Structure 1
Amino acid sequence: MVKTGNSKTKDLFDPDELILTKYEILEFCDRVIKKWNKNPSKNAKNILAMNAVKTSILWTDDESLKAIWGEIIVWTFELLYENAMAQDEDWANMLKKLKNKK
């Protein structure tokens, strides 16, 4: 919360600021691994790589995680934007597709 000049409070959203905790990032990795374990022979390399990501997260301090994952988030949004523009598709349809991927 940030106070504005007229003493009202206003929520400021900063998409570049990582709010997720180390635990939440590890939970995400576990969900991906669980999904890939449904077909382990096809996803063996991916599972191995994601376990390496998990290990690096466990060994990385919180400030470095915020910097690294903050950059990943920014990069992801940039890629989504560039991909949508390259497909000449409107944002509403792109967001629907992203929502349905969950």
Structure 2
Amino acid sequence: MTKKKVFDPDKLELSKLEILEFCDRVIKKWNKNPTKNANNLLAINAVKTSVLWTDDESLKAIWGEIIAWTFELLYENAMAQEDQEWTNVMKKLKNKT
């Protein structure tokens, strides 16, 4: 009998390689304007280095929290924008991805 997996949006399923590939995509994007993004590039390279040095179980714990916080921060940020209708805020959030 196969046990059905329970969906957990906060559980990290990405591999270390997939996280590093994400960092590389961000670096590639920001390298289009390195002067403007110098501080960002420094920070994302630090993130990438920390991912490289971190074991898989710690990555799952850390990035699981980041994922959970992201949803909370998106919600809090949307709610802080009182001068806009909720639908407009959600459209903007959707278009950022």
TM-score range, shorter chain: 0.7 to 0.9
Give the alignment partner of residue 31 of structure 2, picking from 37, 49, 60. 37
When the two structures are superposed, what TM-score results if normalisation uses the length of structure 1? 0.81
Task: Give the counterpart letter for 2:10 in structure 1.
Answer: D
Give the alignment partner of residue 98 of structure 1, picking from 82, 93, 97. 93
Instruction: Give 1 or 2 for the bigger CA radius of gyration.
Output: 1
- CA separation in 1, counterparts of 2:78 and 2:17? 31
- CA separation in 2, counterparts of 1:69 and 1:94? 25
Q: Percent identity?
A: 79
| Number of residue equivalences | 94
Query: Structure with the greater relative contact order (CA < 8 A, sep ≥ 6): 1 or 2?
Result: 2
When the two structures are superposed, what TM-score results if normalisation uses the length of structure 2? 0.84
Where in structure 1 do 4 or more consecutive aligned residues deviate above 3 Å? 92-95
- CA separation in 1, counterparts of 2:25 and 2:77? 25
RMSD: 1.9
